[in-house]
Amino acid sequence: MHIEKLSLFNFKNYEDVTLNFSEKVNCLVGVNGSGKTNILDAIYYLSLTKSAFNNIDSQNIRFGESIFSIKGNFKLENKTYEIVCAFQEGSKKTFKANKKDYEKLSEHVGRFPVVLIAPNDVDVIREGSEARRKFFDTILCQLDSSYLETLSKYNQYLRQRNSALKKFAFIGRVDYDLINTYDDQLLKLGKDIFLKRAAFIRGFLMLFQQHYIQISQGKEEVNIIYRSEWLQDDFVAQFKASIKKDLALERTSMGIHRDDYRLIISGKPIKKFASQGQQKTYLVALKMAHFDTIAGLKDFKPILLLDDIFDKLDDERIRKLMEMITGHQFGQVFITDARRDRTEQLLATFNLPAQIITLPLAK
């Protein structure tokens, strides 16, 4: 699978531009602020129906405008699919495949998967459990559309329950029948999400550990431990009994929205005990496992987006990554770099043919 052409209209810093791509390696070079990352984000948008960096659609519109659109032509199994995303302030975002509207955006997610490696990936390690849940949920949503739908429903009921808790605290009266209705839905949906997360992490962990060993040459042992309150035998009873606490806090204090993935290196939390080099290796191994998981299930390779990767990895890690690209372990690859000379030197060193696009684009 690859994207042949991308057209942007009023998307971020682009007024109106169309780009054609190589089905193998594409290098976007230019000074910082020239729009390299925005092109990667547009491809990500067409895959996951949202930005990788800003989930507020209106903030992705070019300054001074009120609408943006992204159009991409994807080639998959000798068929071409035209995917169009459009958003106008005050209206609902629309997605079309070959001029046909989706009834639900969840129907699109996973059809044209991408894997993005970007500087803000470090949030998975440095931030709280929400960042780690988002990372793994993004993979699961690309693998299983029913997971995305279940997760969306859970979050909807969670918002409604939390809103009811705030209202009851304000008026001093509780509608326990309404609370029980929300509880039944959260428990049912939460169990489904828990089971899929638990099953997924077992296979993902093996791939992740293999990649970490390959990149680090087996210097440390790594692990990912999935933590969920659903692992407790009496979780349902505890959840039901937490209503007094929830009313006091005005929020739901238990459930899969509190799940976490503990990232471990040499038996200790990576956030506190790993060097920057170890953290970078850990993140790249996570992304490579993400890539392999999708490729294994879909029977085709997702698009790989490498944003500013050469500035974030040392020479040895860059060498290993370039060897993987040269060895055709990936399909279509996009690489951004602020230094054209460095990109050209790496391509020459590894005898890797690539299309180089220099930004900003000429008017």
Cα distance between residue 5 and residue 21, in whole Å: 6
Distances in whole angstroms, Cα of residue 220 to Cα of each of 22, 95, 117, 201, 301: 38, 44, 22, 20, 29
Contacts of 4 (CB under 8 A, 6+ apart): 20, 21, 23, 73, 74, 75, 80
Is 30 flagged in the annotation as binding?
Answer: yes
Check whether 32 is labelled as a binding-site residue: yes
The response to whether 100 counts as a known ligand-binding position is: no
Joined tokens for residue 121: 């990936």
- Cβ(205)–Cβ(136) under 8 Å? no
Q: What DSSP string describes 215-270?
A: HHTS-S-EEEEEE-GGGSTTHHHHHHHTHHHHHHHTS--SSGGG-EEEEEETTEEH
| Residue 35 is labelled as binding a ligand | yes
Is 17 assigned to a binding site?
A: no
Annotation-wise, does 36 bind a ligand? Answer: yes
Rounded to whole angstroms, how far apart are CA atoms 203 and 327?
24
The annotated binding site for ATP is made up of 30-37
Task: Detail the residues annotated as belonging to a binding site.
Answer: 30-37
